[in-house]
Structure 1
C-alpha cells in the first residue's frame, strides 16, 4: 500500500476505500465518503476512462455542512445520501430540513432540499467544486496533483489540462441553467433557483444566496459532470449498448447463496465494457467484465477471463466477447517494454501509460502476465463444452493455438519444462494473480525473486494442453491432440518431481503440500499458501494429491473461517492484512471450492463455502477484492475490511455463480454431448435449485432435493444426462 516517496522524503499512501461509497457504470464511476461529500482527498471524485474529472463537490447549507444520517445504494450505479440541517432555536429536536443527494456513476447528481417543518426557511446553498484531472494510477499512488483553476461559464464551471500525452477537459453544469426563470411554481410557494457562479485558481463555487422554502416545499437542482481526454487512443473499450450477455437464473436454496448470486450479477452488469472494434453495424458488440473499481476498471486478461469462466453456466456470450476482445489484441511481435511476444495474451489495457510509483511504469498495452495466456486457451475449451457454436470455436481456434505455442515455447526455455516468468526491470515483478512485490515468500519469510514457476500456473498450462487436445481431436486432428497430450504428461511429471514438499511435522494436516513456486535450480519455495487450492480443478493432481491438498486448505493455517487465507498463518511474514501474504481473496476461495467439488472432496468444499457465504453477509453480498485473514472466533463479529480493496471486483462478483455451478456439480462434455451432474450432498448446505441456466443455447433447470435426487429439465437436443452421487 506504500507508493513512491513524496517530495519531502516521506511515504505517500494509497487511499483507503473500506468506508467509501462507490457507484459504478463502467467506464465511469464515483467515489466519496459515506456522507456524500467529495473533499478532494484520497480517491474522492467522479471518473471516466481512468481520468478524475472532479475531485471536490462539497455542499454547505448556511455555510455549514449538513449532518449525514443515511447512505443507501439504489443499484450498482446510483447512491442516495441523506442529511439534515438543524436549527438550535427550534422548539423540537426533530429535524425539519432534509437534504438528499442522488448521485449517478454517469456524472449526474441531483440535490433536493425539503422543508418538512411548520415555518418558512431561508437558506443559503453553496457547492464548491474542484479537480486535478489526474489519472487513476496517480490517485492510487497517493500522489494526487495540484487543483486546477476553474473558469466560470454561462452554465457552470470548466477546467482544462494540457500535458505531454494530450489534453483533458471537464465541466460542471447546472440544471435549471443559470439565466432560466428565477423561480419555479410550487404548491407551497415559489422557490428561488438562480445561482451565482464564481471561479478561482483552485476551483469554483455555485451559490444560491437566498432560497425561500415554505412549509412542505422542496428545491431541486441537477449537476452534471462531463469530461474527456484527447486524443483518446483507438480501440479503447467503452460503455456497452446492449444487454448483459448472460441469463439471470432463479436460485432457491441457501439464502446467502441466493443473495450472493443476485448482488453479484447486478455488480457484473455495472462492470461491463464493450470493445468498439467489434461493432460492425449489425448490432453486435463484444462485452467483457472489467477487473474492478476503482483501481482496475479496464480490460485485464486474467481477471476478465476468470469472470467469464465463472459465468459459463449462464451462457457463453460473455466468454465469446472476452475471447474476441483479447484475440484482437494478442501479441504479434517482440516488444521488451510491453513484454509482448507472439501469441501472448494481454495483461491490461489502459488509455495511457501508467506510472505507479517506486519505479513501476507500465505501458497502455501491457503483456506482463504468465497466466492469462493458458487461461485464454482454457476459456475457449470450456466455452466449447458449454455449447459455444462450432463456427465461433473454429474462428477462435487459431488464436488458442498461438497462445498454446507461446506456453510451450516459454516452457522450453528451461530443461525442466516448467512455465516461468522473467519480468523486465520496471515491470511487474510477479506476473500471476499474486502480483504484489512481496507476494512470494518462503517458510522463513524471505522474499523470493523471479524467475519463478508458480504451482497454479503449471496447472493452468496442463489444463490448457489437455483441454485443447480434446477440442482439436473432436475436430478431427488426432495427431495434434496426441502431441498436446504427450506434452501435458511431461509437464505433469515435472510438476510432481519439483513441487511437493515434505511437511516435516507429524501434526501437520497432511504429510506433504504443494510449494507455492519453484525457483532457481528447482528449489521449492516452502511454506503452505493458497495457490495449491487452484490445482484440483486443473487435472494435474491425482486423487491422493487432491486429498492432501484438501486437508491443507481446510486446516486452521489456511482456512480463516471466513475463507481461504493466501498464506499460512503459522509461517513468518504472515499478515492478515497483507495483500497476498495472509488476506482472503473471494475468487481464490471460490476456485478452490470448484476444484474440491470436482474432485469429490465435498466435506472440505462445504467448510470453505460456508465460511465464504458467512463473510458475504457482512459485506452486504458485494464481495470485495479481498479482506482480512484474521482467525474467526466466537467473539469475531465479522471479517475485517482490507482498507484499499476494490469493491465491486469482477471475479469476486462472479464468485456466487461459480459456487452455484460447483455445488450443483455441473460438468458438460461437448464431444460426448453429456452433462454430468455431481452435486454436493444436501446434508452439507441443503437442497439447491437453479432455473434459467444455459447449455448450448437452451434453457436448463437443475434441482437437487433433500434426498440428493437430481432433476434436470431442458437438456439440449442430442444431449444426455449422467448423474453421480446419491
Structure 2
C-alpha cells in the first residue's frame, strides 16, 4: 500500500500556476517550470487520469544543469525547452552546445544535444527521475507524497505503490546505464562524443496508471473533434481568439466509454480545464457545448449523453444525488480537496447543471440536432425539469435554491468558492441561497422545453411549463430587485436571495447571465446593461465578478473581483440579444484587447484591475487553469454574439442581427448539418448563404 501523506504538508497551499507550462491531451497532461527541469516542486510532473506518474525528471550535463534560454509552445499538447551548456575556456560567450527537450502531454520526451561548434565535445549526461504517484487532488491542496521506491530494468525505471504504477523507458537512441536508489533512479550516458556540427538524441516515454481503472471514467477520444473549424476574416483579435480556443478545446476533448453503440459516433465532451478539472463537469461541459453550437451539434449530443447516462436516480446524501439531478463532477475516486472538502467520485453538488442540461438540449434542437437524438434525450430533459420544479416546490418562496452539507461544496452555483457570495458590506453570506442567474436558467429551461414539447404536439405539458415559468418570473421580479442609492441605474438584481427572502446587496457579474434567459423584461434589461458597462463592473479588460465600488472587492479574488473570460462572453451575448450593442461592445472590446496580452489563449480568469491609458497588461489569476473549457469556447460565443445569430427550429428561421462595428466574414458555420457563410458588411448589414432547405433569414 502507498504510504500516508506527510502530515506536515497540511500547512501547504495550492500551487500557483501563472508561470507553469501546461501541455494537455486529455486525460493526460504535463506541468513544467519554464526551464523544463522537473524537480518535484509544486505541480511539476507527467499526469494521466488524475494521477501524477512522475514528478522529477532532472537533466545534468557534466554534472551541472544547462542554462535555460527559452521555452517555445508547439501547440496545446507539446512544448520545447531550450538551454545551453557553456565552457569557460572557449574564449567566447557564444554557446556551442545546445540542449533541447521537447515534452509531450501524452507522456513522451525527446532530448536532443547539438554541437554547433567545430571542435569535438565529450559530455556526460544524466536524467534523474522520481515520483510520489499521488492523485491530482492531493497536488492541488499542496501535498507531496513520500517518494515511491524505484526499480531499475533494461532501458527503464519503474515505480509501484499499491495499485498505482509508473515507468520511464528509453525507446530510441543510445542505451543508458540504469541505476536505482530508494527514492529515485538515474538514466546515464557517461561518454557522449559529439564531433563538430553533430547531434545526439534519445526518446523517452512515461507510462503508468491504476491497475483497476474505474468503470466508466472518461477516456481519450479515438475520432476527430465533433465540430467544424470555421474560417474567420476581419478583426485579427477575434480571428486569433477563435483559432487558439479551438486548438485548446481539441486538446481538452474526452469520450464517454459507456456508449453501448460502438457503430455510432463517440460521445465526446470537453473537460472543464487543466490541470485541476480534466474530467466531465456538468456545468462547465454544458456551457462549452452551448457556446460551440454554431459549429455543429455533435459536441452537444456527446455532452448530453455523457451526462444523461449519469443522471441521478436515487437520493444519496454524500453524493448529493437526487432523481433527475445532473452530475457536477466525475473523478476516478473519492478525494479530499482540502479545507474540509471531501467529495465522492460521482458528485451532484451543483444547482445550475440541471436546468442548463435542459437548455442545452433545447439550444441543440434549435441549431438543428437530428430529431432522433432530440427525442432520445427528451426523457432525460423532462426528468431534469422535474427535479427543478420539485426543488422549487419545496422552497418557501418557490425559488431554485441550494443547501450545503458538511464536507460538500458550500456554494453550488458557478461561483462556488467558499467566499463567493458577499453583500454590499463585504460580509460573507452563507447558504441556503437562491442565486439570481440560476432562476434565469430555470425560467429559460422551462420556456425552451415548453416550445420543444409543443412542437412535438404535447400542448398540455407545454402550457403547464409556461404557466410555471410565468410564476417564477413574477417571483423573481418581487424578490430580486434592489433599489440603488447611487449608480448607473436606479436598481439592480440581487446576487441572491436568502432563506427568509432577504436579497443580498452589492452589484456583481451574475446579473449578466440573466439577459438572454428572458426572466427580466425590457426595462430590467436596460438597467442591467447600464450596470454591466459602468466602471464598477467593467474593468476595461472585461467584466469583473464583483463591483470595484463595494467593500470586499479584490481584483485577484477568485469570485470577488477577478475577470472571468466566459462570464464576460455570456454577458456580451446577453447584451447583444437584448439590443444593448453599445454596452456589449464596451465588454467585448475589453476582452479582445486582453486576449492580445495572453497570446489569445485566454486563462480561466485574470486580474480585475482598472484599465488606464498607460496601464500595464492584465495578469492571470495566479492559480488559473489554462487551457480551460468555457474560456476556450468563449471566442466562438463572442463571434456568435457579434454576428447576432439566433436560430428558431420551430419556425425554421435564422435571425442575423450584427453588433460588430466592422466588416466580418465567417465561413464554415453549421446549421442543421448544412455549412453556412455569414457576412457583416461595412454598412453593418448581415448576409447569409448556404441555409438548409426550408429555412429563411430574418434581420433583427
- Into which bin does the TM-score normalised by the smaller protein fall? over 0.9
Say whether 1:66 aligns with 2:50: no
Rounded Cα–Cα distance in structure 2 between residues aligned with 1:23 and 1:581: 29
Aligned length: 696
* 8 Å CA contact 2:334, 2:345 repeated in 1: yes
Q: 1:706 aligned to 2:682?
A: yes
Alignment match, 1:133:
133
- CA distance in structure 2 between the partners assigned to 1:400 and 1:281 by the alignment: 24
- Asked if 1:210 is matched to 2:191, the reply is yes
Task: Quote how far apart the aligned CAs of 1:8 are.
Answer: 4.9
Counterpart for residue 691 of structure 1: 667
Which residue in the other structure is 1:592 paired with?
A: 571
Cα shift readout 1:444-483 (whole Å, capped 9, x = no counterpart)? 1111110000000000000000000000000001100000
Pair 1:33-2:36 in alignment: no
Q: Which residue of 2 aligns with 1:525?
A: 504
Structure 1 residues 459-478: aligned runs within 5 Å: 459-478=440-459
Alignment partner for residue 467 of structure 2, among 481, 486, 508?
486
Alignment check: 8 A CA contact 1:445 1:573 kept: yes
**Which among 376, 397, 401 is matched to residue 378 of structure 2?**
397
Q: CA deviation at 1:6?
A: 8.2
Partner of 1:185: none
Aligned mate of 2:693, from 683, 704, 717: 717
Query: 1:375 aligns to what SS in structure 2?
Result: helix
Matched, 1:611 2:611: no
Q: Distance in 1 between matches of 2:146 and 2:481?
A: 53
Find the aligned partners of 2:526 and 2:664 in 1 and give their Cα distance. 26
Cross-structure match for 1:571: 550
1:452 and 2:450 are equivalent in the alignment: no
> Once structures 1 and 2 are overlaid, which stretch shifts more, 560-569 or 627-636?
627-636
- Given that 2:6 and 2:145 are in contact with CA atoms closer than 8 Å, whether structure 1 keeps it comes out as no
Query: Are 2:328 and 1:347 equivalent residues in the alignment?
Result: yes
Structure 1: distance between partners of 2:678 and 2:376: 31
Aligned pairs for 1:255-270 within 5 A: 255-270=236-251
CA deviations over 1:513-550 (Å, ceiling 9, x no partner): 11100012111110100000111010111111111101
Distance 2:664 2:260 in 1: 39
Match of 2:424 in 1: 443
Provide closer, same or farther for how the CA distance between residues 227 and 10 of structure 1 changes in structure 2, counting only shifts above 3 A: closer
Q: For the residues of structure 2 that align with 1:395 and 1:72, how far apart are their CA atoms? A: 46
- Paired with 2:264 and 2:672, the residues of 1 have a C-alpha distance of 22
**CA-to-partner distance for each residue in 1:85-104, whole Å, 9 max, x for gaps?**
11111122111000111111
Deviation, 1:401, is: 0.2
Q: Structure 1: where are the runs of 5+ without partners? A: 178-192
Corresponding residue for 1:310? 291
* TM-score, structure 2 normalization: 0.98
Distance 2:133 2:62 in 1: 29
Whether the aligned pair in 1 keeps the contact of 2:226 and 2:298 (CA below 8 Å) is yes
SS at match of 1:345: coil
Unaligned runs of 5+ in 2: none
Cross-structure match for 1:14: 14
- Answer yes or no: is 1:663 the counterpart of 2:642: yes
State the partner residue of 1:246.
227
SS at match of 1:357: coil
2:631 aligned residue (637, 642, 652): 652
Shift in CA distance, 681/129, structure 1 to aligned 2, threshold 3 Å: closer
Partner of 2:495: 516
Shift of 1:700: 0.6
Aligned counterparts, 1:84-163, within 5 A: 84-162=84-162
The structural deviation recorded for 1:681 is 5.0
Query: 1:212 deviation in Å?
Result: 0.5
> Which digits, 9 at most, give the CA deviation of each residue in 1:282-317, with x for residues without a partner?
152100000000000000000000000000000000
User: Which of 620, 626, 629 is matched with 1:641 structurally?
Assistant: 620
Deviations 1:191-211 (A, max 9, x none): xx2311111111111111110
Q: CA deviation at 1:555?
A: 1.0
The answer for the alignment partner of 1:46 in structure 2 is 46
Asked if structure 1 preserves the Cα contact closer than 8 Å seen for 2:155 and 2:175, the reply is: no
Query: Which residue pairs with 1:629 in the alignment?
Result: 608
Between the aligned partners of 2:216 and 2:8, the Cα distance in structure 1 is: 40
The answer to whether the Cα contact below 8 Å between 1:279 and 1:285 also exists between their aligned partners in 2 is no
Partner of residue 253 from structure 2, selected from 272, 276, 288: 272
| Cα pair distance change 1:265/1:381, threshold 3 Å | same
Q: What SS is found at the alignment partner of 1:269?
A: helix
Q: What SS class does the counterpart of residue 500 from structure 2 fall into?
A: helix
SS in 1 for 2:361: helix
- After superposition, the Cα gap between the structure-2 partners of 1:224 and 1:279, relative to the gap in structure 1 and judged at 3 Å, is farther
Note if contact 2:110-2:201 (Cα within 8 Å) is conserved in structure 1. Answer: yes
Deviations 1:187-238 (Å, cap 9, x if unpaired)? xxxxxx2311111111111111110000011000011000011211111110
Mapped partners of 2:260, 2:607: distance in 1: 42
Matched, 1:225 2:206: yes
Report deviation, 1:280.
Answer: 2.7
Alignment pair present for 1:672 and 2:668? no
Verify the 8 A CA contact 2:283 2:353 in the aligned structure 1: yes
**Aligned partner of 1:176 among 162, 172, 176:** 172
Give the one of 279, 291, 311 matched to 2:272.
Answer: 291
Q: Distance in 1 between matches of 2:122 and 2:641?
A: 60
Report SS of the residue matched to 2:516: helix
User: Are the counterparts in 1 of residues 242 and 636 from structure 2 also a CA contact under 8 Å?
Assistant: yes
Instruction: Please tell me the root mean square deviation across aligned C-alpha atoms, in Å.
Output: 1.1
Q: Following TM superposition, by how much is the alpha carbon of 1:634 offset from its aligned partner in structure 2, in angstroms?
A: 2.0
Say which SS state the counterpart of residue 610 (structure 1) adopts. helix
> Matches of 2:288 and 2:592 in 1, distance apart?
18
With 198-207 and 529-538 compared, the bigger mean Cα shift is at: 198-207
Q: Tell me what 1:57 maps to.
A: 57
Alignment check: 8 A CA contact 2:172 2:204 kept: no
Structure 1 CA distance for aligned equivalents of residues 406 and 70 of structure 2: 48
In 1, Cα distance between the equivalents of 2:200 and 2:102?
Answer: 14
Aligned equivalents of 2:385 and 2:85: distance in 1?
63
Q: 1:196 aligns with which of 177, 180, 184?
A: 177
Q: Is the contact made by 2:455 and 2:650 (CA closer than 8 Å) also made in structure 1?
A: yes
Q: Residue 111 of structure 1: SS of its match in structure 2?
A: strand
Cα 1:49–1:681 change in 2 (3 A) is closer
C-alpha change, 1:10 and 1:275, in structure 2 (3 Å) is closer
Q: CA separation in 2, counterparts of 1:367 and 1:262?
A: 33
Residue 535 (structure 1) aligned to one of 480, 502, 514: 514
